[in-house]
Structure 1
């Protein structure tokens, strides 16, 4: 594989042929997506593959999703404490009819809506026991004061007065923006840790959150991998989305409590949730 422009970035020219497999060294501190792509392909490599993770693997929950779906389709992976992953060459996926789960990242905005308004929201056709990392966002809201009731394929949340928490969100990176906005309406400060990889998402999400939360009137502190949010006196504002779908959807939650919020470039939600604002309006 060769970068067409010689700068290490796409477009990339890829020559066909067998992939040898074998021993692979992979940095794990920036993203789990590189691991996922190799794992999914590894059964079709020429030789058995062992992926050695350099450092601590970030966003382990996404690796769990990958391993779970590979197992469902007939390929088992040996996971040695998220430091080594072993895949046998020659294993093959078995075709089947598969029901794709509802997306917990998208659900987080509706859960947060109940949390900040003190209302009730019921989610249907959702798996409360999913391996998706963001399925644990309900536990975060419980720690902040909400009441959650889970059934086989539904979940109900009731908002209560919120309190600030300190939490490591490394396994729920896509829910960080939702939590940050929710924290605006909690009593006391909220400290969100373990989120350094948010700096290399659609935008530098730590910087983007600091900018827009401050614009609304919160007091915000940041570090390389953390965010501290202290409630303040809020005012309406135009929210810059940085062409990041999760910025737009998260700050829509703030609009439920702060009059005068306008979301710039709302069409950026089309990346993951094209009809988000129509569904959100139905609340």
Structure 2
């Protein structure tokens, strides 16, 4: 079976910002059209960037401003964490007073490390208490560049936002990301920056340097989202079927494609071709291993949801930063597995899941799209799994339930309220 996976959210939102800052008109083909990317697009429009949809939403044409914003403004980030982390450095490289705000869920996510980093670069960036997050006010008069250490232990998005603003600064930016998590996202960011004409390099000691000079327009085909593909690959593994995802192959810039290697450890057959990745379930899921998923933490819930079907316990570690995402994802996985009668143990950055026969349960999605999608996969093997908020998948894949139902008709019962 061939799964129809929409474009990568991570690539779409990074490319939107880079195109917005570029000199010229860029074309982004097959962008992800979802709540998060539309929020990011609207936030850029609030900063004066013109973005035009072509052929429905098959492509987005971005008229670059040739630099950073110059007039201030009020920016609504909705639920999009990428907007709250990427856009303040972009604004700080410009001029004016900018305010950033979002939903209550987004306000609960911390931004203090980013604000402090912008302050050390010369901008005034104030966050709100008690979380140290949105609303955030940035008073900007351009950024000079310089040397900077960033606490990236909570989110790689802080570092990403600063790096993407680097070419808009007056002098080179040299950054060290202390405690960096989700390393592949930084590699993705550097690759996309280069695609839009920036100079960015990393040295053996982990120091990243970005030279000034701005961006130039580019045309980009957005890859299918590897994080979203994880649910369909996992579905193949637990149902003994084969799922292929075209557009994801050896040259992918997305680290989350590494999830298929975890499935390989769990007994699935995996083939990563030049342009397509295929996973085939072998009829049984193998456990008895522990795995560090810190670099691919957006997929740990996928493994967590199907882990009870394995023949031995599975421990996932290195995922402490997942507690600060749309929900406390370790707690959410544990809560829902226990509701299914599955034994778990957890710590600050880990969870162990024991094998068992899941019982019917109503899944508490916590408005988190990845919890809803992960436990939908468990529902393919467990009758009576339902979601309390099936619509929350719209954040990254509005058509998720329809596509999973097309490939696995048994999924229809999982989406009932």
Task: Mark yes or no: TM-score above 0.5.
Answer: yes
Give the equivalent residue in structure 1 for 2:353: 229
1:28 to 130, 152, 170: 152
Instruction: Map 1:114-263; keep pairs closer than 5 Å.
Output: 114-160=236-282, 161-164=284-287, 165-263=289-387
Secondary structure (helix, strand or coil) at the match of 1:148 reads: strand
Secondary structure (helix, strand or coil) at the match of 1:50 reads: strand
Q: How many residues align?
A: 281
Q: Distance in 2 between matches of 1:25 and 1:206?
A: 28
Q: Which runs of 5+ in 2 are unaligned?
A: 1-123, 408-417
Contact preservation (8 Å) 1:178, 1:250: yes
TM-superposed CA distance for 1:232, in Å, is 1.6
TM-superposed CA distance for 1:256, in Å, is 0.4
TM-score for the superposition, normalised by structure 2: 0.65
1:65 to 188, 197, 205: 188
Secondary structure (helix, strand or coil) at the match of 1:15 reads: strand
Q: Is residue 270 of structure 1 aligned with residue 394 of structure 2?
A: yes
Deviation digits for residues 196-246 of structure 1, max 9, x if unmatched?
Answer: 101101111111111101111211010111110001232111000011000
Q: 1:21 to 1:162 in 2, by over 3 A?
A: same
Q: Distance in 1 between matches of 2:304 and 2:141?
A: 46
Greater mean alpha carbon deviation, residues 12-21 or residues 172-181: 12-21
Contact preservation (8 Å) 2:259, 2:299: yes
1:9 to 133, 148, 151: 133
TM-superposed CA distance for 1:34, in Å, is 0.4
Deviation digits for residues 12-68 of structure 1, max 9, x if unmatched?
Answer: 2222321121121211211100000000011111121111223x2111011010011
Contact preservation (8 Å) 2:249, 2:272: no
Q: Distance in 1 between matches of 2:218 and 2:341?
A: 51
TM-score for the superposition, normalised by structure 1: 0.95
Q: Distance in 2 between matches of 1:102 and 1:35?
A: 24
Give the equivalent residue in structure 1 for 2:227: 105
Secondary structure (helix, strand or coil) at the match of 1:129 reads: coil
Q: Distance in 2 between matches of 1:125 and 1:280?
A: 18
Q: 1:4 to 1:149 in 2, by over 3 A?
A: closer
Secondary structure (helix, strand or coil) at the match of 1:3 reads: strand
Contact preservation (8 Å) 1:53, 1:82: no
